[in-house]
Amino acid sequence: MDTNIRSKFAEIASLPDEEIKLDKAALLIAADTGEKIDISLYLEALDELALKFQRGIESSAGLGISVNRLSDFIHVDEGFSGSLKNYYDPGNSYLNRVIDTRHGVPISLALIHIALGSRLNVPVSGINFPGHFLIRYGTDKHVIVDPFSGRILSKPDCSTLLRQIAGPKAILRDEYFEIASNKDILIRILDNLKQIFWRKKSWDESKACIDRQLLLLPERAEFNIQLGAVHEMQGNMILAQHVYIGVLQQTEDEQLRGVASKRLLALESRPVIIH
């Protein structure tokens, strides 16, 4: 872990949501893997993409920027697409890798749309749709786009997508289309990575994801529960106990307090091993 990178992320995490530079924060998440990443170089690559699109607009009779036009530029002209073969490769969640390979998962590809939209003064927002991150172009009159494919989605399309994810009885709800804040997006990127690392039992990487989530939302007790679980997996029962006690002292959520209490009881019932 590079402490300088972590301190830069902590600085961004402390900002009001509207002041967070989403692309820079996402690149800092990637840089925290230990890979040497020139963040300014990748920010310049996004600048160049926006300029390239702008030049194409200026040379085509000034028709203006439409959703189809920008989405086609991203997915057709520049070849950004969803990664089907290696969907759970952590690299698909790292913005630098997405820029390099042109492959990613829905939320990392959404970052490309959002980054270009911000540079072109086109309102593009993330949507925390269940199980599949979506984006919204526009404000009052808006268009929903699947960043994995670049396809514009109708309401029936969204219903079909939800049923594919959540089962045939799933019902589309208005709250599924609420705009995701910048912190929401960063939390979800880290959640994706955390799930991948957890399945691999890569506890140091899982812990790094949780640490960054706590920088973004320190009041979220469920992240501390997960942190305690990681300490248990790593065999550090004293730290795990400390974290669970902290949850009991700090949260009023009865469900989380119950989980913390059960973990503490489990720790106390572990047999003492004499070496």
What digits encode the pLDDT tens for the residues 201-223?
999 999 999 999 999 999 999 99
Give pLDDT, residue 275: 39
**Which range, 25-34, 100-109, 263-272, is most confident?**
100-109
CA gap 61, 64 in Å, rounded: 9
Give pLDDT, residue 251: 93
Q: Is the Cα dihedral 187, 191, 192, 194 positive or negative?
A: positive
Lowest-confidence range among 15-29, 71-85, 136-150?
136-150
Give pLDDT, residue 274: 42
H helices of the chain, where? 3-13, 22-31, 39-58, 67-72, 95-101, 106-119, 155-166, 182-199, 203-216, 221-233, 237-250, 254-268
In this model, does residue 66 exceed pLDDT 70? Answer: yes
At 144 the three-state DSSP class reads strand
Task: Note whether 20 and 182 are within 8 A (CB).
Answer: yes
Give pLDDT, residue 269: 76
Give pLDDT, residue 140: 72
**Mean of the pLDDT values across residues 115-133?**
96
Give pLDDT, residue 1: 55
Enter the tokens of residue 199.
């399945």
In this model, does residue 272 exceed pLDDT 60? Answer: no
From the CA atom positions of the chain, what is the Rg in Å?
21
The pLDDT-based confidence of 34 (bands split at 50, 70, 90) is confident
Q: pLDDT averaged over the chain?
A: 93
What domains lie within the chain, and their CATH numbers?
A: 3-177 (no CATH), 219-268 (1.20.58)
Judged on CB neighbours under 10 Å (0-12, 13-18, 19+), 140 is exposed
In Å, the largest CA–CA distance within the chain is 80
In this model, does residue 61 exceed pLDDT 80? Answer: no
Q: What is the pLDDT of residues 222-254, one digit of tens each?
A: 999 999 999 999 999 999 999 999 999 999 999
Give pLDDT, residue 250: 93
CA–CA distances in Å: residue 54 to residues 48, 51, 139: 10, 5, 21
What pTM was computed for the model?
A: 0.92
**Mean of the pLDDT values across residues 36-63?**
86
**Mean of the pLDDT values across residues 3-11?**
92
